[in-house]
A and B are shown apart, each in its own frame.
Chain A
Amino acid sequence: MPDYSWPDAEHRSLIGKRISRVDSPFKVSGRAKYTYDYHAANQLFGKVVRSPYAKAKIVSIDTSAAEKLPGVKAVEIVQKPGTIAQWAGDDIVALAAVDESTAEDAAKLIKVQYQPMAHLVSDTEPPAGAAEEAGPMSEDDAWDAIDNQMPDRLFTQYLAEHGISFHPEEDLLKEFKGDGASDAVLDAIRKAEYHEPKPGAGHANYQKAAAQTAGDPDKAFSEAEVISEGLYGVPLIAHCCLESHGSTSEWPDKDHLFMHISTQNVSGIAGRWPSRWEFRRPMFAFIRTMSAEDSGASLPPIAGT
Chain B
Amino acid sequence: MPDDHLPKKHSKKKAEEGSGVSRRDFLKISGVSAAAVPVLGTKIVHAAGAPVKVYGPGKVAVELTVNGKKHALQLEPRVTLLDALRDQLEITGAKRVCDRAECGACTVIIDGKAIYACSVLAIEAQGKPITTVESFTDGDKLHPIQQAFVDNDASQCGFCTPGFVVAFKAFLDKHPNATPEELRRGLSGNLCRCGTYHGLQLAAAEIARKGA
Chain A residues within CB distance 8 Å of chain B: 20-21, 23-34, 36-37, 39, 99-101, 239-244, 290-295
Contacts and interface: CB of A to CB of B under 8 A. Distances in A.
Contact of B153 (A20, A241, A244, A295): A20
A39 B150 contact: no
A241 B149 CA distance: 20
Contacts, number: 98
A39 B150 CA distance: 27
Given A39-B90, A101-B76, A293 B96 contact: no
Interface string B78-102: 1100010011001011111100000
**A-B pairs, 7 with minimum CB distance:** A30-B93, A27-B158, A292-B157, A37-B92, A30-B133, A292-B159, A28-B146
A126 B155 CA distance: 44
B165 interface: yes
B37 interface: no
Given A37-B86, A294-B157, A101 B79 contact: yes
Contacts of A290: 158
Nearest to B162: A30
A33 B151 CA distance: 21
B137 interface: yes
A202 to B, nearest CB: 33
B78 A101 contact: yes
B136 A29 contact: yes
A34 B159 contact: yes
Nearest to B78: A101
Given A28-B155, A241-B157, A241-B159, 9 more contacts: A24-B155, A25-B146, A28-B149, A29-B93, A32-B158, A36-B92, A36-B96, A242-B191, A243-B95
Contact of B87 (A25, A31, A39, A293): A39
Contacts of A25: 140, 142, 146, 150
By secondary structure, the B interface counts as loop
B193 A27 contact: no
Contacts of B153: 20-21, 24
B164 to A, nearest CB: 9
A29 B146 contact: yes
Nearest to B90: A39
A242 B92 contact: no
Contacts of A32: 158
A36 B90 CA distance: 11
B118 to A, nearest CB: 13
A29 B161 CA distance: 9
7 contacts: A21-B153, A28-B146, A29-B137, A29-B162, A34-B95, A37-B92, A37-B95
Nearest to A23: B158
Residue of A36, A101, A292, A295 with most partner-chain B CB within 10 A: A292
B34 interface: no
A24 B156 CA distance: 8
Contacts of A28: 142, 146, 149-150, 154-155, 158, 161-162, 165
A37 B134 CA distance: 14
Interface string B109-148: 0000000000000000000000011101100101000100
B95 to A, nearest CB: 7
